[in-house]
Chain A
Amino acid sequence: MSTSINQTSLDNGLTVIHQEMPWLSSVSFTILLPYGASHDPKGYEGATSVLHDWLFRGANGLSSKEISNSLDSLGTRRGGGTGKEASTFSGSCLLSSFDESLKLFAMSLIKPNLDNSEFNSARLLAEQELESLQDSPSQLLFKQLSKEYFGSSHRNSSYGTAQGLSNLSAEFLKELAKKHLSPKGAILAVAGGIKNNDLIETVRKYFSDWQGSEAINNELRLNPVKQSHLIQESSQVHIALAYPAVSAKEKGWYENALAISVLSGGMGARLFSEVREKRGLVYSVSAFSRVLKNHGYTMAYAGTTPEKADETIEVLTNELRNISNGVNQNELERARIGLLSQMVMQAESTGSKASTLANDYYLLARNRSPEEIKTALNEISLEQLNDFLSSYKPEFRILSLGPKEIKKVNL
């Protein structure tokens, strides 16, 4: 039950992507702005995520609470957050509440109050969240791994740093807001029971006055391979690693997606089967893709008790490396149907549909239809996939966290 994807560009630069799901009375939307933690100025790490919070603390003379109460009355669920390169603001509501909800979101982006007292609260909350991270070893580990992996400002995490947060001021963030809050490069993706004409009319009503400057692209650099360990009292040793893969625009994108699925798609995939099912080394083990505009990378995680850590890292890295020796036909078929049915299942929820539409457009500057993805995946032969994999040599940046150092592996 797939409908076509509509694309409209407003004069001010905002791109609207829409897919109708006529059988639903709900609508979801995602507004993606192309700035994220990697745009935090040096010494002000955490700036974009404090700004993200601050924006929804009042607009157009309405207080933070008034905005929130209005959205609650409309029954609008809201979400979003800051990533490395992009920030999102998302909402889901019934069709009858869509117009009002979008108006409140537009207001918050175009005419935020940016009150000083609300800035203080937003910063304090960010500091609390950063402190809280210390009690969550696996999340802390991924934040630190980013710093090991990226040489450029992409190393920044949305949590920021204690120093960065304390250096922030309301004036500083207002300047940053002027630079980044702009329809240029911004994407509004909408999925659900709304017609394209009605949508465009609503969007024009609330977003046409928005003006701003061009989006800024950041240079991206990686650090050399490295393995390190953080000593922390914990029950498990948490192991995470990252290595470069394929970006959305590069050749090999679908082959890479299939490879990750062979490694970590279902419970029959290699990592789950080798690390957990056959050896009982872990409860949790997985590999997953991360994509930035011009860079794709793979991350993997395993958590195990200290006495099994050496064997776990050995088996994990061997499995990730072994895939360059090729996969078999059955593995390819499982990976293929896994990806295809994921796609259909996600497309049945307006929320995940809207977020996929926004991301796809952000990465590719166009949207792929389900048919295009299906054809591309179906066309890949075993030979073609194994050809791609034979040139695949993961270069690991490994970081572990736990009570004692673990075995060093080849990087």
Chain B
Amino acid sequence: MKLKFDEITLDNGLKIIAEHNPNLETIAFGYFVNTGSRDERSEISGVSHFLEHMMFKGTQKRSPEDINREFDEIGANYNAYTNKEHTVYYGAALREKSSELIDILTDMMRPALRENDFDLEKNVILEEIAMYEDRPDFKVFDIGMEHFYNGHSLGNSVLGSSQSIKDLKIGQMRDYFEKRYASDNLYCVVAGNYDWDEIIEQITKASSSWAIQNSLRSYPKLNFNNENKIIKDKKLNRSHVALFSEGVAAQDDKRYAAAILASLLGGGSGRLYWALTDKGLVDSASLGHDISDQTGAFVGYISADPKELDNVLDIYFDVLAKTDDITNDEWARAQRKIASSTMLRSETAFSRLMSLGRNYLYNRNYKTINSTVDKILNTNLLEAKEILEKKPFENMSTIILSP
């Protein structure tokens, strides 16, 4: 399958990157903004995510209803998400609807941010916060990250708190928008079947008023908290445990080794699965590796019967302590598993859009599917041993939410 890569930087600083696949009948298009809860001060906690909602609330030429209606009129699949470092707006549609899709999403990037819409949408955000309150498997991570990152902005909650959202003013959101959504802090990403010349022409025109801001992200020193924390909540039935330790950054070449290692230990059929889930001792016990901008973390999760928790934690840490015996066979299996799912994920325009955009935000480069797969298959077990030499699992920060 031969795919073509296109890229250009417009005069206003906006970068467009694209991967062309002539076999598809669809296009996926998105804006990847280099901003998230780690870029918030405490008095505006939750503003990145709240702003993401407000971006759907209309522009100078579109009402809130217009945006949703016009997306629906072209049969698009569209949405947005916010995490600690990124805010992403995306849509996928049939190829013949490309120009409408691009028109709506590009217009959305310069929103009206009207105060009455802001007041109404506050209710929706407060409902979203309440919804996650009923999800202990989510909540334990929100509490856990704040604890582990220990005052660093990577511990900031994406949703914010009910109080921070109630206190937020529209002026604070407008200021944040001006700084963070400048043309040099967001990237336009395209995947699927498109006409490159038409894309450039349309976006150049639609973004002509956008300007550069030179907004920078700050990188305060990391100072992890490895102490344990127990929170009691008597209405729970299970113990939910989040575990953290330092990992590898999104820009570090060792991230492939970290991902393979985490999968071997804590993926779907990894060592923790056989030691705990397969035997029915827990309903979930996993370990993953999360990359971030200039840092990374190994992140674990357990859901267990509170009466069995001590025993389960002993087994969990025991598995992670015994990594000397990883064989080349076991390593190769984990490599192939990840390489194959990378290939399988690449079928649709939408999944390519996400891979292209996420990688670009971190590394400002393009990776073909094949080069990613090659990289995974060429990652040596010795690279994992280097990571293990730092003993990342010896003293994991353990946060327990339990009845």
Chain B binds chain A: yes
**A: which residues have CB within 8 A of B?**
1, 23-26, 64-65, 68-69, 71-77, 92-94, 97, 120-129, 131-132, 134-138, 232-236, 238, 265-269, 272-273, 276-277, 280-284, 303-305, 330, 333-334, 337-342, 344-345, 348-351
Cβ–Cβ contact A236 & B23, under 8 A: no
- The 13 sampled A-B contact pairs (Cβ below 8 Å) are A93-B340, A126-B280, A135-B136, A135-B237, A138-B134, A236-B127, A266-B76, A267-B71, A330-B73, A334-B69, A338-B75, A344-B94, A348-B26
- The interface residues of chain A lying within 8 Å CB-to-CB of B238 are 131-132, 134-135
Cβ–Cβ contact A345 & B92, under 8 A: yes
With the chains together, A281 CA to B125 CA distance in Å? 10
Distance in angstroms from A312 CB to nearest chain B CB is 10
Looking at the complex, which one of B128, B136, B237, B343 makes contact with A131 (CB distance below 8 Å)? B237
Known A24-B1, A267-B56; contact A283-B127, beta-carbon cutoff 8 A: yes
Distance in angstroms from B198 CB to nearest chain A CB is 20
Q: Let me know if B336 is at the binding interface, CB within 8 A.
A: yes
Q: Let me know if B20 is at the binding interface, CB within 8 A.
A: no
Cβ–Cβ contact A236 & B131, under 8 A: yes
With the chains together, A334 CA to B97 CA distance in Å? 13
Q: Residue on B with the closest CB to A70?
A: B333
Looking at the complex, which one of B1, B75, B337 makes contact with A23 (CB distance below 8 Å)? B1
- The interface residues of chain B lying within 8 Å CB-to-CB of A135 are 136-137, 236-238, 240, 303
Interface-lining segment among B38-46, B116-124, B141-149, B210-218: B116-124
Cβ–Cβ contact B130 & A305, under 8 A: yes
**In chain B between 28 and 68, which residues have their CB closer than 8 angstroms to a CB of chain A?**
56, 64-65, 68
With the chains together, A75 CA to B341 CA distance in Å? 7
With the chains together, A191 CA to B10 CA distance in Å? 41
With the chains together, A65 CA to B23 CA distance in Å? 38
Cβ–Cβ contact B237 & A137, under 8 A: no
Having A280-B121, A284-B131, one finds 5 other A-B pairs with CB under 8 Å, namely A1-B24, A125-B279, A131-B305, A235-B131, A304-B127
A-B residue pairs, 9 tightest by C-beta:
A124-B280, A75-B340, A280-B123, A341-B75, A268-B68, A337-B75, A235-B133, A134-B237, A128-B283
Q: Residue on B with the closest CB to A285?
A: B127
- The interface residues of chain A lying within 8 Å CB-to-CB of B77 are 341-342, 345
**B: which residues have CB within 8 A of A?**
1, 23-26, 56, 64-65, 68-78, 92-94, 97, 120-128, 130-131, 133-137, 235-238, 240, 269, 274, 277-284, 303-305, 332-334, 336-337, 339-341, 343-344, 347-350
Distance in angstroms from B170 CB to nearest chain A CB is 16
The listed residue with most A CB atoms (<10 A of its CB), out of B123, B279, B341, is: B123
The listed residue with most B CB atoms (<10 A of its CB), out of A132, A265, A269, is: A132
- The interface residues of chain A lying within 8 Å CB-to-CB of B284 are 132
Looking at the complex, which one of A128, A283, A348 makes contact with B24 (CB distance below 8 Å)? A348
Q: Residue on B with the closest CB to A118?
A: B278
Known A267-B71, A345-B26; contact A280-B120, beta-carbon cutoff 8 A: yes
- The interface residues of chain A lying within 8 Å CB-to-CB of B97 are 341
- The interface residues of chain A lying within 8 Å CB-to-CB of B332 are 73
With the chains together, A304 CA to B127 CA distance in Å? 6
Cβ–Cβ contact A334 & B73, under 8 A: yes
Cβ–Cβ contact B237 & A235, under 8 A: no
Known A121-B279, A125-B280, A345-B26; contact A269-B72, beta-carbon cutoff 8 A: yes
Distance in angstroms from B263 CB to nearest chain A CB is 9
Cβ–Cβ contact B72 & A268, under 8 A: yes
Looking at the complex, which one of B1, B64, B280, B283 makes contact with A132 (CB distance below 8 Å)? B283
Distance in angstroms from A277 CB to nearest chain B CB is 7
Cβ–Cβ contact B131 & A350, under 8 A: no
Q: Residue on B with the closest CB to A65?
A: B274
Distance in angstroms from A36 CB to nearest chain B CB is 21
Q: Residue on A with the closest CB to B334?
A: A72
Cβ–Cβ contact A338 & B237, under 8 A: no
Distance in angstroms from B381 CB to nearest chain A CB is 16
- The interface residues of chain A lying within 8 Å CB-to-CB of B25 are 1, 344, 348
Q: Residue on B with the closest CB to A125?
A: B280
With the chains together, A23 CA to B136 CA distance in Å? 43
Distance in angstroms from B66 CB to nearest chain A CB is 9
Looking at the complex, which one of A77, A272, A340 makes contact with B75 (CB distance below 8 Å)? A340
Known A77-B344, A348-B347; contact A268-B71, beta-carbon cutoff 8 A: yes
With the chains together, A250 CA to B340 CA distance in Å? 41
- The interface residues of chain B lying within 8 Å CB-to-CB of A234 are 133-134, 235
With the chains together, A72 CA to B340 CA distance in Å? 9
With the chains together, A387 CA to B277 CA distance in Å? 53
- The interface residues of chain B lying within 8 Å CB-to-CB of A344 are 25-26, 94
